[in-house]
Amino acid sequence: MAAFFDLDKTIIATSSAFAFGREFMHSGLITPTEALQMSLAKATYMFAGQSSEQMDTTRDQLAAMVAGWSDEQVRQIAEETMHHVVTPAIYAEARELITFHHNAGHDVIILSASATQLVELIGAELGIDRVVATELEIRDGRFTGELLFYCKGDAKAEAIARLAEEHGYDLAASYAYSDSATDLPMLETVGNPVAVNPDRAMKKAALERGWEIRIFKNPVPLFQMPSTKEVGIGAGVAAAVTAGVVGGIWWAQRGRRGSA
């Protein structure tokens, strides 16, 4: 048996794709202007989410943005700053639910449209058994800007079917959790679908189909940070720069065009 989790707004109270924006800026991968423009789009993402079309647009813009970046550098930055950037955004309710499934003997899998390099770190932090995430092409240690696998929509459902075949999961007895209607195919593959912090379309579908709905409200650190002040600053800045996945990249590119 298994429990399949979406990541953004389901396990963490933000977008994983640009949770490390400040750190990338300090390392020279993005400019302060780009980081500011991303923060402006953050409110839109948190309030309204993303449609399938917006996700596809963001996918292309994100892939173009990271072209030329060093895979090793991205992993190093993310690993070094994980505990004060992403940890404070993890829902306590999600952490407890993951523990519940592990205690019940279930495998726990994250399926996310964010890049594998980032999702794997979060998975390791939570003791996740497996991660399925978007795969970016890498040549000579650098991102090319091409996508090898985009973990969204039907691709998540297909990944679940493959995992079930490989590991013998009973999908009729398994669980799936997500906030977004783009993940309806994922929830439809299991016998116990749960809408977590659902967007409008997901909530409508869940009510029509009699699915369980859960609301997670309590993102807290997995351990006590050394400084309360540091936690507040880290969480606030992280929240300000995570909007790239929603459209911040578009704003950044618009800014480049305007200054050209």
User: Which residue is associated with the tokens 């480049």?
Assistant: 256
pLDDT at residue number 221 = 46
Q: CB pairs under 8 A, 24+ apart, for 200-209?
A: 202/178, 205/181
Q: Are 13 and 238 in contact (CB under 8 A)?
A: no
Residues in Cβ contact with 213 at an 8 Å cutoff, skipping those fewer than 6 apart: 194, 195, 196, 198, 203, 206, 207
The CA–CA distances, whole Å, from 176 to 19, 73, 235 equal 24, 33, 28
Q: Catalytic site residue 6? A: yes
Q: What is the chain's Cα-based Rg?
A: 18
Catalytic residue among 6, 179, 183, 199: 6
- Please report the domains of the chain, with CATH numbers, ordered by start residue: 2-220+227-259 (3.40.50.1000)
The CA–CA distances, whole Å, from 100 to 103, 160, 171, 226 equal 5, 20, 18, 28
Q: Are 136 and 63 in contact (CB under 8 A)?
A: yes
pLDDT at residue number 109 = 98
Q: Catalytic site residue 8? A: yes
Catalytic residue among 8, 179, 183, 199: 8
Q: Which of 194, 23, 251, 247 is nearest to 118 (CA)?
A: 23
Predicted structure pTM score: 0.78
pLDDT at residue number 242 = 34
Tens place of pLDDT per residue across the chain (260 aa): 999 999 999 999 877 776 776 787 788 887 777 666 656 655 555 554 555 555 555 555 666 567 788 999 988 888 888 888 888 889 999 999 999 999 999 999 999 998 898 899 999 999 999 999 999 999 999 999 898 999 999 999 999 999 999 999 999 999 999 999 999 999 999 999 999 999 999 999 999 999 999 999 988 544 433 333 333 333 333 333 333 333 343 344 444 444 44
Q: How far apart are CA 61 and CA 163, in angstroms?
A: 29
Neighbouring-strand partners of residue 12: 8, 90
Q: Are 237 and 22 in contact (CB under 8 A)?
A: yes
How far does the chain reach from its first CA to its final CA, in angstroms? Answer: 55
The tens digit of pLDDT for each residue in 33-43 reads: 766 665 665 55
pLDDT at residue number 218 = 85
